[in-house]
Amino acid sequence: MTKIKAAITGIDAYVPEYILTNDELSQMVDTNDEWIMTRIGIKERHILKGEGKGTSDMAAPAVERLLKKTNTKPEEIDLLICATVTPDMQFPATANIISEKTGIKNAFSFDINAACSGLIFTLITASKYIESGAYKKVIVVGADKMSSIVDYTDRSVCPIFGDAATAILLEPTLDDNGIIDHTFYTDGVGIKHLHQKAGGSAKPASHETIDAKEHYIYQEGQAVFKFAVSKMADVALEIMEKNNITPENLAWLVPHQANNRIIEATARRMGISKDQVMINIQKYGNTTSATIPLCLWEWEDQLKKGDNVVLAAFGGGFTWGAIYLKWAY
């Protein structure tokens, strides 16, 4: 019997209007365009403005656009999973809020938190429901309002992150295309290097935690960089070798957009040229769960049915991994 695979059959996004440039950041902290471009590769990032607005306020329009574009009714969706580290609230899940806002009434929904690997981990989780044969239309949301946990007085962190939401439709396929393989890793060695100190059950919010700025991202940049640069390249190479992908038959590498230097190192290790790599970090920064689909969305017109595509990510946890898929439309 032919095995059911999950295929991406549509993708859309919502990027907030406000653009925070390197020049504006230079007025907020002691930094400059040259440092940010050389060390990270970011020119600007989009920020969600407005009192009371959260991740779901970007994700809901992304899902609505996806439904419209793929001619899908909200009632047809069986499952919605949201990858995020910046949920609207601690609970309920942001996926529940998105489903409510978009009229998705016949689905169950939940969140996955795997930091910058959240999108790839969620995509594989969702694909397993499709492969089971019991689910026909699953939406994967990758959305983060990173500006809600960035300290805009900390120059080592504030240039890096941006806000965005993306939505992917997954459906079953019996042909050769779709999601083929993945390799994922987690190593708790990363906990101390990248985390949010307060606001969880171990250290609930208090006046003291607010005063100590413990609700913001804590990142030891150099330590994270060292792991990211080797692990993302290792795993991308591993998925290539496992699936007989060569630089010649790979159409695209879609890397998590955390730092241009990490992306370039990964491409070098894979032996591929820059033309085979989707890079838009300069426009959006690191939008955590949204980076990989933001690339697929921007490159959608250039993707062809049957293209060999590798997705690769590294993030907090540490978590890292790669997916091999054949583009399905």
Q: Which residues bind ligand UT7 (CB under 6 A)?
A: 31, 35, 39-40, 116, 155-156, 159, 221-222, 224-225, 228, 258-259, 262, 286, 315
**Which listed residue (46, 182, 193, 256) is catalytic?**
256
Vertex 95 angle, CA 90 and 101, to 5°: 110
Which CB atom, from 80 or from 123, has the smaller least distance to ligand UT7? 123
Known active-site residue 116:
yes
Q: CA–CA separation, 265 vs 140, rounded Å? A: 28
**How many C-beta atoms surround the C-beta of residue 219 within 10 A?**
17
Complete DSSP assignment for 31-44: --HHHHHHHT--SE
Please say whether the beta carbons of 15 and 44 come within 8 A: no
Residues 223 and 195 sit within 8 Å (Cβ to Cβ):
no
Residue 101 or 197 with smaller CB distance to ligand UT7:
197
Q: Annotated catalytic residue: which of 22, 177, 259, 286?
A: 286
User: Number of H helices and number of E strands within the chain?
Assistant: 10, 13
Ranked by CB distance to ligand UT7, the top (closest) residue is 221
Please give the DSSP secondary-structure letter assigned to residue 146.
G
Min separation Cβ 114 and ligand UT7, Å = 11
Who's near 192: CB < 8 A, 6+ residues apart? 220
Question: Closest approach of Cβ 216 to ligand UT7, in Å?
Answer: 14
**Helix, strand or coil, per DSSP, at residue 162:** coil
Q: How far apart are CA 158 and CA 147, in angstroms?
A: 8
Of the pair 54, 159, the CB lying nearest ligand UT7 is at 159
Concerning whether 286 is annotated as a catalytic residue, the answer is yes
User: Which residue's CB is nearer to ligand UT7, number 116 or number 265?
Assistant: 116
Distance of closest approach, residue 5 Cβ to ligand UT7, in angstroms = 29
Largest CA distance in the chain: 62
Q: Min. distance of Cβ 297 from ligand UT7 in angstroms?
A: 19
Q: What are the respective helix, strand and coil percentages of the chain, to the nearest 5? A: 35, 25, 35
Q: Which is nearer to ligand UT7, 109 or 319 (CB)?
A: 319
Query: Is the Cβ–Cβ distance between 258 and 160 less than 8 Å?
Result: yes
* Smallest distance, ligand UT7 to C-beta of residue 17, A: 24
CB of 42 to ligand UT7, least distance (A): 9
Q: Which is nearer to ligand UT7, 77 or 116 (CB)?
A: 116
Within 10 A of 201 (CB to CB), how many other CB atoms are there?
Answer: 6
Confirm if 146 and 287 have CB atoms less than 8 A apart.
yes
Name the catalytic one among 22, 46, 82, 116: 116
CA 280 to CA 297: how far, in whole Å? 11
Decide whether 19 or 223 has the Cβ nearer to ligand UT7. 223
- Shortest Cβ 156–ligand UT7 spacing (Å): 4
In contact, 319 and 121? CB cutoff 8 Å: yes
Q: Does the active-site annotation cover 256?
A: yes
Active site residues: 116, 256, 286
